[in-house]
Amino acid sequence: MGRAAGRPARGKVILKMTKNRFGRLLPVALALMAACAPRGYQGRFPAPRHDLVFDKLAATWDEGIPLGNGMIGALIWKKGDSLRISLDRADLWDLRPVAEFSGPEFRFAWVHDHVLKKDYEPVHKMGDVPYDRDPAPTKIPAAALEFDISALGEVESVRLSLAEAVCRVRWKNGARLTAFVHATEPVGWFQFEGLPAGARPKLVPPAYAAAVPASDAEKNSLNPRSLASLGYPRPELSGGETSVRYHQDGWGGMSYEVAVDWDLPQAGVLTGVWSISSVYPETETGPTARGQGTELAPNSAAQALQRTLVRDLDSHAAWWKSFWARSTVRLPDPVLEKQWYLETYKFGAASRRGAPPITLQAVWTADDGSLPPWKGDFHNDLNTQLSYWPCYSANHLEEGLAFLDWLWAIKPRCEEYTKRYFGVEGLNVPGVATLDGAPMGGWIQYSLGPTVSAWLAQHFWLHWRYSGDRVFLESRAYPYLKGVAVFLDNVAVRGPDGKRKLPLSSSPEINDNRIDAWFRETTNFDLALIRWLYGAASIMAEEMGLVEESAKWRTILGEWPGLALAEDDGRLLVAPGYPLLESHRHFSHLMAIHPLGLVDWSGGEADQRTIRASLAELDRLGPDGWCGYSYSWLGNMAARARDGERAAQALRTFAECFCLPNSFHANGDQTKSGKSKMTYRPFTLEGNFAFAAGIQEMLLQSHTGVIRVFPAVPAAWREVSFDSLRAEGGFLVSAGKKDGKLVEVRIRSENGGQLRLENPFPGGAYETSGAATGGVRNAGPIIEADMRPGEEIRLKGH
């Protein structure tokens, strides 16, 4: 990446504002903050009951109040006698390569040969060991701001307003803090009232220059090494009366700077703004892979002061108002309703076009002197995919494009990786990847797995299906899927029965990283993804008029075997002849049910039998080996099985047992109530966002081409509604139940086309109104209508 434009000399005070100029803005700013409250916006904002509210500041970073805009983020908590604001930026990475991956052993064929010879230790040393042994590549934190609050006494309240994306802290002595990260600008604001005279923010660099503790030698990716293990030089700090700058050199010419500017305090009020910029050396892949990563110069904070707090808060509020207007839900279960709004807020704070997509911790990297859990990386064997599940039906396609933009940007590098490791043309993606798409290793059955790109490709499919964007189909979605289809065609071999198979297969993360995690027969995980990929590629090619290519993909699909089912009850196996043997966190063998939908409730009795038996097996084996995301995923699968009670129960367990007080998913059972034998607390986000997707699956489904409203709500949910959830085809759907009866369904078509809605009214009787009324017709249990762009139809039961 290129050097940031307009970079001043380090330590230079760029702007010094007079207290008179800035002071006149304070009353206006506070009034605007009050005006941004959710009251009166037609009930579409989150209500105050959805806010995070506490009577004290969190004592650990991972329970802090989260703020963010996809590129930068902050956590507000208390450390010692200081209020601490942990600062982060999404593209701060140490990108040093894994040494072993430039050697001759970095080949799938070499791994295959050693598996067949049962000589696996060399493979383990090549692919797995470096991930735990080396501190990098890794995501890194930026810095922290601290304010001495020892003289303020007890906290009265801490509140995160979801509607405003603003944090407010109030002390019993009347002191107050207001803080937010601007929705679209690379700045964060803070305003303290009631601080003692002479109080100033303190900028605290991460502990890169500390002594490396002896215990680092025993650490691993889950119990991470210290930041000092990265070997960075000492930070450079400089500043003046109203500003401070911190410059940090990283690995390979990368550096970043943190800039903080504040006004001279007046009447006990301190107002300031911060920003973070990153600089990478020029590389062939850097500028596109990191999007708009370095356009922010260190003087952004000073420039923000010029824009003034009022102006920034106004545009910040406007963005979040628009965000929340995209969709709403109203549930009779207050736990599930609040959690949905918390997850939707975090998604809005963590994903934005022009910024890198959501990593394990997104813009809330660990602030405890250590590397983040699992290096804060891109885990593409589950985590990134689950993180973007909710954006489609929640009508947040724009934020979801951050993921697809990144996948497209790293595509050239991933094609090089595919050629280097697998020895064939086409497209695969490392299952554990850096910011610029390089492989990181660790449990190579999954981190270097052969079907990673097939699962990622589903997100291109989903964006096309939910948006109806023809240009996206032709320029992005189909080319991406075609590249994956070419790779799988090239890497496949023929089995004794003439059917295609993978040379080696796996099912995340069955048997961990042992040699028996490799399967000689293609697992249901890999097979479901392969079968889905060729089916989807055929549909896309046909839509584009590419008749020969469509037929080619259908032919290849027919050369792969069917899914492996148990003979006794039809449940999905892990692999042919290999059932699920124990409770496991990753439901990889059930991908065909969800998210791929190859085995679906609408498919008839055979599919329903498989679904019932597969979910019953999860019950039989129990949740001892589950993580929080397992419950979120189960909620989605139960919704696909039309089992609202089970879906609600699984999602409630997630919210009540696997989340920290600030709603962050902590993986382990925090209640220690038997919901899992894993009771640890590494924070990752995929479980949070999969939860939101599960709620949406309960309310609306359209993956079969037929829209179904309330397909999986509990019978006890007599008052439930949603507004503007998105269905495939670009239809925006709203519906509500009152006293247990469906009152109305409203559907607006963005693109035009044929609407197909499963008749949701008892007895099938309904009346219609709206522009498309004349085209409404019944086709058995399906209501059809030919709609033009922008048309809306309303259906009411008699």
Q: DSSP string of 422-457?
A: I-SSS----SEE-TTS-B--SSHHHHT-TTHHHHHH
Identity of the residue numbered 650 = A
Contact 146, 82 (CB under 8 A): yes
Structure-block tokens of residue 514: 């042992």
Cα distances from 452 to residues 381, 383, 681, in angstroms, run 6, 12, 27
Specify the pLDDT at position 11.
30
Rounded to whole angstroms, the Cα distance separating 127 from 100 reads 8
| Tens digit of each residue's pLDDT (9 = 90 or more) over 339-387 | 999 999 999 999 999 999 999 999 999 999 999 999 999 999 999 999 9
Q: Which two tokens stand for residue 342?
A: 């918390």
What is the predicted pLDDT for the residue at 53?
98
CA-to-CA separations, 103 to 251, 252, 353, 443, in angstroms, rounded = 21, 20, 36, 18
Buried b (16+ CB within 10 A) or exposed e, 586-616: bbbbbbbbbbbbbbbbbeeeebbebbbbbbe
What is the predicted pLDDT for the residue at 267?
78
Kind and range of the H or E run holding 386: helix 383-387
pLDDT averaged over 10-residue windows placed end to end, the chain, 798 residues:
32 27 38 41 74 98 98 98 98 97 97 98 96 96 97 97 98 97 96 89 95 83 90 94 95 96 84 94 43 42 61 94 97 98 98 97 97 96 97 98 98 98 98 98 97 98 98 98 98 96 98 97 98 98 98 98 98 98 97 98 98 98 98 98 98 98 98 97 97 98 98 98 98 97 96 96 88 77 95 92
Residue pair 195/270 in contact (Cβ under 8 Å)? The answer is yes
The type of residue at 276 is I
Angle, CA 706 vertex, CA 728 and CA 766 arms, to 5°: 115
List Cα–Cα distances, 789 to 73, 370, 701, 734, in angstroms: 38, 52, 21, 17
- Of the candidates 475, 477, 482, 464, the one whose C-alpha atom is nearest the C-alpha of residue 553 is 482
Identity of residue 788: R
Encoded tokens for 421: 């490791």
d(CA 645, CA 623): 18
DSSP codes, 94-135:
E-PPPGGGGSTT--HHHHHHHHHTT--HHHIIIIIHHHHH--
Whole-angstrom distance, CA of residue 534 vs CA of residue 49? 46
pLDDT (0 to 100) of residue 15: 25
The neighbour count for residue 185, using CB atoms within 10 Å, is 23
Distance CA 460, CA 477 (A): 5
Asked if 187 and 208 count as a contact pair (C-beta separation under 8 A), the reply is no
User: What is the model's pLDDT at position 572?
Assistant: 98
Residue 36: per-residue pLDDT: 40
Bond before 543 cis per omega within 30 degrees: no
The number of C-alpha atoms within 13 Å of 303 and in the hemisphere containing its C-beta is 13
What is the spatial distance between Cα 179 and Cα 159, in angstroms, rounded to a whole number?
Answer: 11
Q: Which two tokens stand for residue 786?
A: 């030919």
d(CA 741, CA 723): 17
Q: What is the pLDDT of residue 198?
A: 83
Nearest to 204 by CA among 67, 346, 87, 344: 87
Burial class (CB in 10 A: 0-12, 13-18, 19+), 37: middle
Position 758 scores a pLDDT of 97
Determine the Cα angle at 228 with ends 223 and 233, to 5°: 155
The torsion of the CA quartet 573, 579, 584, 588, rounded to 10 degrees, works out to -20
What distance lies between CA 299 and its chain's CA centroid?
30
